[in-house]
A and B are shown apart, each in its own frame.
Chain A
Amino acid sequence: MAVNRAMIQAEGVEKAFGSTVALGGVDLAVDAGQVLAVLGRNGAGKTTFVRILATLLAPDAGRIQIAGVDVVNDAKTVRSLIGLAGQFAAVDETLSGRENLVMVGRLYGLPRREARARASEVLERLGLSDAGDRLVRTYSGGMRRRLDLGASLVGHPLVLIMDEPSTGLDPRSRIELWSLIDDFVEAGTTLLLTTQYLEEADRLADRVAVIERGSLIAEGSPDELKQRIGGDVLEVRATRPADIERLVGLLSGLGTGQPVADKRSQSVTLPTSDRVQTLLAAARRIEESGIPVADLGVRRPSLDDVFLTLTGASADRSRPEAHLRPVPGEPVPAAEPEAQRARA
């Protein structure tokens, strides 16, 4: 085995479901002990990639190896090397936490005594020792997720695969989960996780791979990625929808990229590397123009900003439905007559 061999090595992975291309040739490499976050929106192909990696789905083309073992040709060996925590807490509600873990340990091939010892060890590590003998149906959502994560650790995996680990968790449980993940990583486990949240990728990952419509559109450390976005984002929210175009014109040339309009939130965003300078300049121009604005500020880039920057401003119109969904409480249609009145 070559010394520099990556722990996870994917080359040209393709998968289509009927005429829908889920993955269009993905190349990825994760070194031992590294954490890679695969960042993407719903339907970007993250879960398909994870399912192929975890031997649940066969790719149409390409090759993936884990620790040098091919996930298609030698799936059984791969399964003894990985731990998978899927999108759901896949634990049995009518078994106790301990029973769930012992069963998984036995299915990994551990003898009964060893499986029991391992279950206690994992429960301890997850802070579930006291709840270990209670039925899982009495657990909170956060506890279930932790137990599910525990199930993926029972077999001492070399590679841990987590599909959207914090989706559906409340903020406190999410932070608890993150610190648990920190512990595993410190212990040397290689981790590949998928997420929709830039914040999560930023917090946990050494490297981030951005995936969109089945293709890798960027890869790098969180810092490198933010560099490409230009650091921060200036956001102006218009009081009247009619002013959006004027604001775009007003702000162009100020930041590190082109201003982008979002009609749904009546706002214009602009990537910037110098938050103070850009903010002052923008404020001055807006004041001179006399355009009323509801909000003006600089914030850290969100996942949407990453996509907007990486896929170009044209993505604004073709953004998937998830983004165009009207937000309850935001009077999008009602804003039109209001604007008419204001002009009159």
Chain B
Amino acid sequence: MGAVIIRPRSRGARSFFTDTFLLTRRNLLLTARTPELVVFAAIMPIMFVLLFRYVFGGSIHVPGYANYVDYLMPGVIVQTALFGGSSSAVGVADDLSKGVTDRLRSLPTNRSSILAARTLADLVRLTYTMALLLAIGLLVGFRFHNSLLPVLGGLGIALLFGYACSWLFTLVGLMVRNVESATLAGFLLTFPLVFAASTFTSTQYMPSALRTFANAQPVTQVANALRDLTHGTGAAGPAALHAVVWSAAILVASAALATWKFRKL
């Protein structure tokens, strides 16, 4: 038999959006139907809010903040952005080890959609968790002390940082390729970034080497930027600029490397 029918599928740029939408929905459905994931993602940051607001908060005083909760909430939001991104490493590794990635790559799918959908789903989840966190924050006394626009700008920076982290951890997932290592790598990367930072308290009483690291690294920059913009201090000072530059740099570098790594799988 020689009459082979090749059915060309006219799928141009449209396929990128369709495929990204389909795969984003798939990623979100997987989360939504695993209740323990949804609950865990929400409970972790809430525990941190309650712990630092009521257990440690009384003994922490940060200059410039009459209420510690106004200092705390931006920190927890940035921590959540980082942790949220680290779940990408696990998701990517899980799909790789279960053969799902192979299946998707063997389909006439737009391959860029696979990673785009992964990070986009993270962004949707992060937006949900952040909204939940803000609601809890308002309940325990957190208030915005600035006008709407800077506040939205601050939250936007936090989301941008979270999105950049998703790409970073997507890259990690592609490199380690199994769920256990991805979980460990996520923990090892996020822990120092979150705690050697201005997340829960000012860096000024830290030993000098630690302080230098803490002041330089992105979590401090993003948390400070969010504080500046929600509290009305510093009036969108250098922290906001540093935070945006850091996030954009992480985003561009990670996305480029992850895409390159994904092509070579």
Contacts of A155 in B (CB 8 A): 107-108
In the bound complex, CA of A16 to CA of B41 (Å): 42
Are A1 and B108 touching (Cβ within 8 A)? Answer: no
Are B99 and A87 touching (Cβ within 8 A)? Answer: yes
Contacts of A106 in B (CB 8 A): 18, 22
Are A77 and B8 touching (Cβ within 8 A)? Answer: yes
Are B30 and A77 touching (Cβ within 8 A)? Answer: no
Q: Is residue B180 contacting chain A, with contact meaning CB distance below 8 A?
A: no
Are A108 and B9 touching (Cβ within 8 A)? Answer: yes
Q: Is residue B100 contacting chain A, with contact meaning CB distance below 8 A?
A: yes
Least Cβ distance of B245 to chain A in Å?
A: 36
In the bound complex, CA of A331 to CA of B103 (Å): 43
Residue of A nearest to B32 (CB): A94
Q: Is residue A211 contacting chain B, with contact meaning CB distance below 8 A?
A: no
Count chain A CB atoms within 10 A of each CB in B7, B15, B105, B106 and give the residue with the most: B106
In the bound complex, CA of A155 to CA of B108 (Å): 10
- Take A76-B108, A77-B8 as given contacts and tell me if A103 and B26 are in contact as well, using a CB distance cutoff of 8 Å: yes
Q: Which of A10-46 contact B (CB under 8 A)?
A: 32-33
In the bound complex, CA of A138 to CA of B188 (Å): 35
Are A1 and B2 touching (Cβ within 8 A)? Answer: yes
Contacts of B8 in A (CB 8 A): 77, 80
Contacts of A81 in B (CB 8 A): 6
Least Cβ distance of A252 to chain B in Å?
A: 47
Q: Is residue B11 contacting chain A, with contact meaning CB distance below 8 A?
A: yes
Are B9 and A56 touching (Cβ within 8 A)? Answer: no
Residue of A nearest to B263 (CB): A58
Are A109 and B15 touching (Cβ within 8 A)? Answer: yes
- Take A32-B1, A86-B102 as given contacts and tell me if A109 and B22 are in contact as well, using a CB distance cutoff of 8 Å: no
* Binary interface encoding of chain B residues 84-111 relative to chain A, with 1 for a CB under 8 A from any of its CBs, else 0: 0000000000000011101111111100
* Binary interface encoding of chain B residues 159-175 relative to chain A, with 1 for a CB under 8 A from any of its CBs, else 0: 00000000000000000
Are B22 and A103 touching (Cβ within 8 A)? Answer: yes
Are A67 and B4 touching (Cβ within 8 A)? Answer: yes
In the bound complex, CA of A7 to CA of B4 (Å): 9
Q: Is residue A318 contacting chain B, with contact meaning CB distance below 8 A?
A: no
Contacts of B18 in A (CB 8 A): 106
Contacts of B109 in A (CB 8 A): 79, 107
Residue of A nearest to B25 (CB): A103
Residue of A nearest to B104 (CB): A107
Are A79 and B26 touching (Cβ within 8 A)? Answer: no
Are B22 and A4 touching (Cβ within 8 A)? Answer: no
Least Cβ distance of A89 to chain B in Å?
A: 8
Chain A positions within 8 Å of B, measured between CB atoms, are: 1-5, 7, 32-33, 51, 54-57, 67-69, 76-77, 79-82, 84, 86-92, 94-95, 99, 103-104, 106-109, 135, 151, 155, 158
**Cβ contacts A to B, 25 pairs, < 8 Å:** A1-B2, A3-B2, A4-B2, A5-B2, A5-B4, A7-B4, A32-B1, A33-B1, A55-B105, A77-B6, A81-B6, A84-B102, A84-B103, A86-B99, A90-B100, A90-B103, A91-B100, A94-B30, A94-B34, A95-B29, A104-B103, A107-B23, A107-B104, A107-B108, A151-B103
- Of all A-B residue pairs in the complex, the 8 with the closest CB atoms, nearest first, are A90-B99, A3-B2, A88-B99, A94-B33, A84-B106, A90-B103, A109-B9, A80-B108
